[in-house]
Amino acid sequence: MRVLSVPNWSFGRDSDLLSRFRETLEERELTIHYLQSDVDHNRTVSAFSGAGDAVFGAVEQLCELAFDRIDLNHHSGVHPRIGALDVCPFLPLPDLSYTSPATSALPGPAQPESTTPASPSPIPQPSRTDSLLADVENFSAKIADRFQLPIFLYEKSERGRHEADLPSLRRGGFGGLLERELNPDFGPRRANPQLGVAVVGVRDFLIAVNVNLGIEDPTIAKAIATEIRGLRASGDHRFLGVRALGFPLASQHRSQVSVNLTLPDITSVDPVVEWIMAEAASRKIRFVNTELIGVIRRHDVANASRLVMREAQIVDV
């Protein structure tokens, strides 16, 4: 089994750091699916996969590079954030052999004492997700200790100590963390004064899409995002699992509806994008383009015809 990681970093205006990220990933036996910075969000999204040890090692090495350069006290950007490594999801992927450190230590089946051949009872093996859950916890503990960084586990990794979803954990932003005692899963109980906190965990696949509009004023984009959230909350089946925010893109003189489809098996890309396009058109706002941020599963591509994507962004699961 391969592991996919999609770390989101709070820098987007440091081209040298982005180049060093790429060099670091290219030096390892990894598939780089996505690595791109955005100056308005002041954020970099990376996505790469490979054997577990290579992926965890790469994230740690990228932390070394980024944490020397990021200070959230001097960070500005339109995207919500609470950490230099703002969120770091991991997902299990099939096809390559993946052995958890815990699994590799399990003893083999005992030999029968009788001379009569017998089939040994198989030792139950943890699932791919269970193995990855354990390894992500070990990795989180290591990163928290090394960098004195509070780490909150989220989604499938959360253990009942706090909220499990990213929007709840981000509530209040970086500034809201600094003056209060925290209850992280690993690391100190105070936010790192430069790096904030990190949100790490195993999650299900999601599809991140930006719909860009030809007007810099974000009022319409924010209104569309608010309507999506309201429709989702009301139980509208068209928006199950859809999260949305509206942003200005000052450098491009545009605005953006940023969407995460957290239940892509239920909610396809095209109907959501086409609904946003229709809403913009009804307000006499020009649709510019769409962006796929990170990766998409191959079997989702047929229902994502509105997205422009590179082959590297398509992941087989």
pLDDT tens, N- to C-terminus, the chain (317 residues): 789 999 999 999 999 999 999 999 999 999 999 999 999 999 999 999 999 999 999 999 999 999 999 999 999 999 999 999 999 999 999 854 444 444 444 444 333 433 444 445 455 556 789 999 999 999 999 999 999 999 999 999 999 888 888 889 888 899 888 888 999 999 999 999 999 999 999 999 999 999 999 999 999 999 999 999 999 999 999 999 999 999 999 999 999 999 999 999 999 999 999 999 999 999 999 999 999 999 999 999 999 999 999 999 999 98
Check if the beta carbon of residue 295 is closer than 8 Å to that of residue 32. Answer: no
Q: Tell me the three state secondary structure of residue 247.
A: strand
Q: Write down the pLDDT at residue 111.
A: 37
Q: Does the domain at residues 2-94+127-202 carry the CATH identifier 3.30.990.10?
A: yes
Beta-bridge partner residues of 224: none
Rounded-to-integer distance, Cα 13 and Cα 295, Å: 22
Q: In terms of pTM, does the model score above 0.75?
A: yes
Q: Per the structure block, which two tokens stand in for 21?
A: 């990220």
For the chain, what is the mean pLDDT? 91
Q: Tell me the three state secondary structure of residue 23.
A: helix
Check if the beta carbon of residue 6 is closer than 8 Å to that of residue 58. Answer: no
CATH number belonging to the domain at 207-315, selected among 3.30.70.670, 3.40.1190.20, 3.40.50.300, 3.40.630.30: 3.30.70.670
Give me the DSSP letters along 216-241.
Answer: S-THHHHHHHHHHHHHHHTT-GGGTT
Domain residue ranges in the chain: 2-94+127-202, 207-315
Which helix (H) or strand (E) segment holds residue 215: the answer is none
What is the tens place of the pLDDT at every residue in 190-240? 999 999 999 999 999 999 999 999 999 999 999 999 999 999 999 999 999
Half-sphere exposure of 178 (CA within 13 A, CB side): 8
Strand residue runs (E) in the chain: 2-5, 8-9, 31-38, 43-50, 85-93, 151-153, 198-202, 207-213, 242-249, 254-261, 287-293, 296-297, 314-315
Q: Write down the pLDDT at residue 99.
A: 46
Rounded-to-integer distance, Cα 69 and Cα 277, Å: 38
